[in-house]
Structure 1
Amino acid sequence: MIRTWRLDDSRQTLVLASQKDHLAEVVYWGPRLPDEEDTQTLTRAHAIDVTGGMLDANPELSICPEATRTFPGQPGLVIRDEAGRPYLPKFCFSSESIGENSLTLTFRDQSGLLIYCAQFAIDTETHVIEARASIECSQPMHLHWLSAPVFPAPQLSDEMIDFAGRWCGEFQMNRTAWSPGVRYRENRTGRTGHEHFPGLIVPCRGATNATGHAYGFHYGWSGGHRMAAEELPDGRRQIQFGHATRIETEAATRFSTATLYAMFSDDGLNGCAVAFQRHLRDRIVEFPDPARPRPVHYNCWEAVYFDHNLPELKDIAEHAADLGAERFVLDDGWFGMRDDDTRALSDWEVDPRKYPDGLTPLIDHVHGLGMKFGIWFEPEMINSDSDVFRAHPNWALGSEDQILGRQQMALNMALPEVRNFLFDQVGKVLTDNDIDYIKWDHNRVLPMPDAAQTRGSYELIDRLREAFPSVEIESCASGGGRIDFGILGRTHRVWLSDSNDAVERLLMQHNAALFLPMVVTGSHVGPRTCHTSGRVMDIRFRAWVAAQRHMGFEMDPRELTDEEAGVLRHVTSWWKENRSWLARADILRLDSADPAVIAEQHLEQGGGQFVVFAGKAETSSQIAPRPLRLTRLSPDQCYRIELLNCGDAPGLSRGDQEIKSEPMTLSGAYLMNHGLTLPWSFPETMWVVKGELV
């Protein structure tokens, strides 16, 4: 007997099938099939007639591969009974629940000990499939590993793309060739991590940013994940995502994965990017006031660090407002006896030495300048030199001799008394002060991974969100150490990296656009001399790189010359004038013929206008600029093309190019097939091109 189920949108079809009441498997996932396709025939066509000589039939590559079915690869579930004995279930079909664009399948273990449930939902507008799995046990069990529903990987793929990184170097792309065995990545730091972003792109042969087939995955969990991309001995391939192994420390009767977001693209990596960007922005992030434009952000960290002085902060705020800032964020150093990073974390009371009249004088001053006010917290952390630690040393997570991170320990967020304390302390600051925004930091990895820690942090943020619904929250974790769709279901912005180096940011933002839209991605104009790299960069380059995302400043604005301030005001004004359509634009990565040029095209939904940011990260290997092909334009329509910063052309750019002096009108066919020839430029510069449908 064959049971089949099907989910469709305009782009893709997902077909699952169960034979002999075994666990379902994905027998087709790719371009949209005809409505009249016979899925039972398709399932039979999926069969393989050779086993390699060891078995008489191939075991299913199911949504939760079972060791009891002689499956030769990584199982989807590893579980033990309360005594620690391995338990090997064999699941059989129990029930189905079919909704509009959704499917829930339930399977029971033959012994009656376990129930496995898989849920699928397809979003017909964003083209993202949401999948999650759960296990219910009739007695307490110890979970080692549970994969979200397993998807097959395409045979016509030569490589996979995953993401690594480090502090000040997030979102680095790795390309790994498929080969027999497992590409296994596991993040056991207890947070999403700079090192192992939970995402995977599987391009089919020949795919580029703009063309070809590709499959995208993201696991929306903030507590560390495991990914296994495996090629079985028979050549089939599977993709598994789930929580990091062994992070459920207690026996329980129910376990569940986070949501795995998966999608198929028929127009290259950009199809994955647009699906994830739109799904995150339109389905996951819940802005307190969605109609309010994203405000230009100012953060004082790299201006003052811990040295808070009220007259100086007021002066800085005045300069920031003059440049166009609309939100002022007071960073670390305002509470307890916090003069450096060795003390006072968890003592969330305003420091009377620095603020004898509380925060009100500064907040009133900021509001008087027309800006909103935000503040920094790191609620999940504690210093041993703090009043709270001296009163509650047992609240710290981990052993007494643990290695500290940034001179601090983590609080045990699984403890209700810890969460209650933090809710009261953070809540009092928000109640007593007119605060619009929280920068929520997480500056160390955990001493050991523990799923209860992540669930506790989620519970605290959810509780604060309910109590203070108008307050926006930014997820920061030493920069980009906690960026995922799980935390973004509770927050509204991410700090992509602690690096404000525009060269480094250019590539990080470019890669992160495979998953993140403009509205959640903070990008700031840093100091003339970058504090994390020592690189000295022109204000034009710094400003335009920040204008690619949610724009802000993070430096002492008093260091700017009059000319630099004028440039920054101009770019900020341009960003404000265009932010309403940019907020909903699709960020498209362009396939640059020059490896030195990192370029992207922000295309308005509907295609009426776009802007191209073409940043030059290093010296080109050839003399003449190579044309830059655009994408997703209407080939038979014409576009008015204007180089917005033509005045930045250097003296060595001597050729008589019309684009340097006046707008041009070109067809979409020309722009996509030949490309736009931009003027010659130095490294660490940016060309910005505006296009409008004529």
Structure 2
Amino acid sequence: MSIYIDDEKRLFHLQGKNTSYVMQVVRDGYLAHLYWGKRVHTYRGSNKIIFMDRGFSPNPDASDRTFSLDTLPQEYPAYGNGDFRTPSYQLQLENGSTITDLRYSDYRVYKGKPKLNELPSTYAEDENEVETLEILLEDQLLELKITLTYSIYQDLDVITRSVHFHNQGSQSLKLLRALSANVDFRDDEFELMTLYGAHNNEKNIVRRKIVPGVQMVDSCRGTSSPQQAPFLSLVRKETNEEQGEVYAFNLVYSGNFTAQVQVDQYHNSRISIGINPFDFSWLLDPKETFQTPEVVMVYTDQGLGKMSETFHELYRTNLCRGPFRDKIRPIRVNNWEATYFDFNAEKIEQLAKEAKQVGIEMFVLDDGWFGKRDDDNRSLGDWIVDRRKLPNGLVDLANRIRALGLEFGLWFEPEMVSIDSDLYRNHPDWCLHVPDRPHTLGRNQLVLDLSREEVCDYIIDAISNILASVPITYVKWDMNRHLTDIGSAALPSDRQRETAHRYILGLYKVLEEITSRFPNVLFESCSSGGGRFDAGMLYYMPQTWTSDNTDAMCRLNIQYGTSLVYPPITMGAHVSSVPNHQVGRITPLDTRGYVAMAGNFGYELDLTAITEEEKEVIKQQISLYKKIRPLIQFGKFYRIFSPFDGNEAAWNFVSEDQSETVISYFKILSQPAAPLRTIKCKGLNPDYVYQNVETGELFGGDELMNVGITLPRIKQDFLSMFWRFKKA
């Protein structure tokens, strides 16, 4: 049992493996937050809330000037009743007012974890691994009921939260804000960590001390975005990879979000996260409901490394789904940087032959195979093979590639439409648009209106027709622009601000249907790289193309930052040609290989245009990756040196049984008079003796972790070093 309830005190204590989360109903039904942190056996109220008269803090009870919602740490705060901090939700009544008053009504505890209606979420394969608490809050005047759902994983320091609104009254209510979680801390001695970036520069780590006021990350771009990720964590000043408190929040959602910390006048900190209220509303007619996305909350006092380990284990085993969750992922080559739009069947077959010779397992045909797609100005939405390039069709090409012993994969961008396309000419109203306003183009394309059922059905049918007729075992699902002109021809005026969220619900419906129809196809999500690398997409597609930027030095930062939340098995990582197509840098082939081997490994270059010496190196890389692939994809990942802190990066992987490790070190620029460095492994068994696979040298696990390996002094830019140890 992990949820303990004292009915007399109306106290709720959620206990994880190493964490406790405590709430209590106080006064006239207000749900207060008391504690979240390191596990305590029994909570007896040592950190009592001190009530006192505070200036400008109004009182719901005129007889008691010490009690105010403005200073009460709350679980799901409302607007307008004296709490001036950011509320978790806000509704507009038919009379135009926005005041509600939620009070505690009831609770329910059960084993297992509910599936969210129309939304992705983490899950439990065995009901005994998770226990769920539902707390019912009610506004009796409106007959509005809100259910706060908390699920706690028995063996992980994870709590998931979501909120369900149910309008049981007779009047229509309009949700203006509906966040998924709120946590009120009673101090502000924290630093805030978030992930920011841009196209080709995703998942940079930023850490800064919080100050009075609001510090926020968000997206109003229609997606989870490369600019900011739906993640934040509060960490103590002394927190590093190995030690210190971390309170982390990650939203399982792929659309507009907000995540913020607000420090009030008394140095309390309020974390809130959920759907971005900007340009959002949702009409709740009588008897209608609304479900918020899930938030994954992780606590640890063992530093950022433990936080990441927890996210990695949860997402790999209890978020990703389907047969590929536990399967070794294939080594791929993608033709995009080799050919772009300029290819034919013979060119593709020749690339595939070269791929087979070096040991690659799958060939992926990228953009340009459909309609009249000679550039990115046309044909999106017309998912019919271009017989000029592939005169015998996709089936013939796929069979020719499979005859070589390779699997065949295909690129799609199903959510988009080109103005120069048959689909747009036949259905110009199927794109997101606002009447009488000109289109805003991105990459010369428009976004299909996935809030419309007929549009979703078209995508499902068009993609299914290809997958059912061609022997395809992999799909790269791309999305290369954000949402503008957000309006739907199918929605009435009072529901137009529901469009962005309905788009995401439509996307999830499409993904659920297609991935269920084709369970033996490995789907990889992409949005010009990592523009939609989020937990919501991983529920449907167990890996994501991490970035369109394949430069090895840039990828050090991108993959390192992504690993803060997401496991390496979810990261697509390829070796590309030099000079690199994104930044023009020339890096050694071995360095490019070792960086890409820290994820789902593959290549994105013209194998017919490289030297025999380079082909031999690639053969060796592929041979090595096949040996270490189970360790990379299913082992534990440890960060050692951060590229955000200096001129080097390092990490190591350790097998589940601690019998094997691989260690990678990278130096970006060679420097004069540089100090000698030692690299210390992590995660090994201190009692094991490990043998260097290459040299035969023997070292104890304790020595490799505590003493470390001296790095040789090599005068070279973009240097990489690699070690592989096995238990002797």
Task: With the length of structure 2 as denominator, give the TM-score of the two structures.
Answer: 0.88
Which residue of structure 2 aligns with residue 659 of structure 1? none
Q: CA deviation at 1:609?
A: 1.9
Residues 1:671 and 2:701 aligned together: no
Q: 1:607 to 1:286 in 2, by over 3 A?
A: same
Name the structure 1 match of 2:162.
Answer: 132
| Count of residue pairs the alignment pairs up | 670
Match of 2:93 in 1: 81
Q: 1:375 to 1:621 in 2, by over 3 A?
A: same
Counterpart of 2:475 in structure 1 is 438
1:62 alignment counterpart: 74
- Contact preservation (8 Å) 1:500, 1:532: yes
Shift >6 Å, 4+ stretches:
none
- The match for 1:680 is 713
Letter in 1 for 2:29: H
Q: CA RMSD for the aligned pairs?
A: 2.0
* Structure-2 separation of matches of 1:50 and 1:607: 54
Supply the distance in 2 between the matched residues of 1:58 and 1:635 (Cα, whole angstroms): 54
1:26 aligned to which of 30, 33, 39: 33
Aligned to 1:581: 631
- 1:108-119 pair list within 5 angstroms: 108-119=138-149
Deviation at 1:4, TM superposition (A): 1.1
**What SS does the aligned partner of 2:14 have?**
strand
SS in 2 for 1:450: helix
> Which residue is equivalent to 1:178?
210
Counterpart position of 2:545: 495
Q: What are the equivalent positions in structure 2 for 1:241-640 lying under 5 Å apart?
A: 241-252=273-284, 253-399=288-434, 400-447=437-484, 448=486, 450-591=500-641, 595-620=646-671, 623-640=674-691
| Distance change in 2, residues 1:19/1:81 (3 Å) | same
Amino acid at match of 2:352: A
| Displacement after TM superposition at 1:312 (Å) | 0.7
Rate the CA distance shift 1:415–1:82 in 2: closer, same or farther, 3 A.
farther
After TM superposition, give the deviation of residue 250 of structure 1 in Å: 4.6
The CA deviation at 1:124 is: 2.1
CA distance in 1, matches of 2:39, 2:227: 35
* 2:348 aligned counterpart, secondary structure: helix
> Displacement of 1:113 after TM fit?
3.3
The 3-state SS of whatever aligns with 1:87 is coil
Shift of 1:64: 1.2
User: 2:67 is matched by which residue type in structure 1?
Assistant: A
What is the CA–CA distance in structure 2 between the aligned matches of 1:80 and 1:378, rounded to whole Å?
A: 38
Is 2:706 the counterpart of 1:691? no
Partner Cα distance (1:126, 1:302) in 2: 41
Aligned match for 2:21, one of 14, 23, 28? 14
Residue by residue, what CA displacement relative to the aligned partner does 1:526-557 show, whole Å, maximum 9, x if unpaired? Answer: 11221111111111111111111110001111
Residue 229, structure 1, aligned to residue 264, structure 2: no
- Aligned partner of 2:102 among 91, 99, 122: 91
Return closer, same or farther for 1:46/1:639 CA change in 2, 3 Å cut-off.
farther
Return the alpha-carbon distance in structure 2 between the equivalents of residues 538 and 638 of structure 1.
33
Equivalent residue letter for 1:264: Y
- Which of 137, 141, 162 is the matching residue for 1:107? 137
Contact 2:243–2:302 (Cα < 8 Å) also in 1? yes
Task: Tell me by how many angstroms 1:146 deviates.
Answer: 1.4
Contact 2:34 2:73 in 1 (8 A): no
Instruction: Give the direction of change, closer, same or farther, for the CA distance of 1:72–1:406 in structure 2 (3 Å limit).
Output: same
Question: In the superposition, relative to structure 1, how do residues 378 and 22 fare at CA in structure 2: closer, same or farther (>3 Å)?
Answer: same
SS of the residue 1:150 aligns to = strand
What CA distance in whole angstroms lies between the structure 2 residues aligned with 1:384 and 1:177?
Answer: 47
Whether the 8 Å CA contact 1:248–1:452 is kept in 2: the answer is no
Summarize the Cα distance change of 1:179–1:574 in structure 2 as closer, same or farther, 3 Å threshold: same
For residues 54-91 of structure 1, give each alpha carbon's deviation from its aligned partner in whole angstroms, at most 9, with x where no partner exists. 442353221211234422311111221246x2322111
CA-to-aligned-CA distance 1:202-254 (integer Å, 9 cap, x gap)? 22221111222212210010012011211121111121111111454551232
Distance 2:655 2:402 in 1: 33
Following superposition, the deviation at residue 46 of structure 1 comes to 3.0
Q: What's 1:148 paired with?
A: 180
CA–CA distance in structure 2, aligned partners of residues 558 and 140 of structure 1 = 64
- Partner-residue secondary structure (3-state), 1:233: coil
| Secondary structure of the structure 2 residue equivalent to 1:486 | helix
* Partner amino acid, structure 2, of 1:589: R
Q: Is the 8 Å Cα contact of residues 395 and 469 (structure 2) preserved in structure 1?
A: no
Given residue 673 of structure 1, which amino acid in structure 2 is its aligned partner?
N
SS at match of 1:316: helix
2-side partners of 1:6 and 1:673: how far apart? Answer: 38
Partner of 2:151: 121
Match of 2:3 in 1: none
Match of 1:158 among 182, 186, 190: 190
Conserved? CA contact 1:525–1:552, under 8 Å:
yes
409-418 or 71-80: bigger deviation:
71-80
Q: Is the 8 A contact 1:296 1:325 kept in 2?
A: yes
Contact 1:341 1:407 in 2 (8 A): yes
Aligned 8 A contact 1:345 1:381 in 2: yes
Contact 1:164 1:197 in 2 (8 A): yes
Separation in 2, partners of 1:406, 1:621: 45
The one-letter code matched in structure 2 to 1:420 is D
Task: Mark the CA change 1:153 to 1:691 in structure 2 (over 3 Å): closer, same or farther.
Answer: farther
Change (3 A) 1:621 1:602: farther
8 Å CA contact 1:210–1:589 kept in 2: the answer is: no
Tell me the CA shift for residue 592 of structure 1.
5.9
Partner deviation per Cα, 1:326-363 (whole Å, 9 max, x = no partner): 11111110000111000000011011111121112211
Shift of residue 629, structure 1, vs aligned partner? 2.8
Structure 2 gap ranges (5+)? 1-7, 58-65, 112-130, 487-498
Deviates more, 1:25-34 or 1:380-389: 25-34
| Percentage identity across paired residues of the two chains | 28
* 1:211 pairs with 2:262: no
Counterpart-to-counterpart distance in 1, 2:619 and 2:28? 66
8 Å CA contact retained: 1:48, 1:58:
no
Equivalent pair of 1:23/1:107 in contact (CA under 8 Å): no
Deviation at 1:158, TM superposition (A): 3.4
Change over 3 Å in CA distance of 1:289–1:630 after alignment to 2:
closer
Task: Name the residue aligned to 1:652.
Answer: none
Whether the 8 Å contact between 1:301 and 1:554 is mirrored in structure 2 is yes
Q: Which moved more, 1:418-427 or 1:149-158?
A: 149-158
- Structure 2: how far apart are the matches of 1:454 and 1:483? 14
CA distance in 2, matches of 1:89, 1:258: 22
TM-score w.r.t. the length of structure 1 is 0.93
Aligned to 1:483, what secondary structure does the other structure show?
A: coil
Cα distance change of structure 1 residues 614 and 82 upon mapping to structure 2, 3 Å threshold = farther
CA offset at residue 605 of structure 1? 1.6
Contact preservation (8 Å) 1:145, 1:242: no
* Structure 1 residue ranges without an equivalent (≥5): 645-661
Which range moved further: 49-58 or 299-308? Answer: 49-58
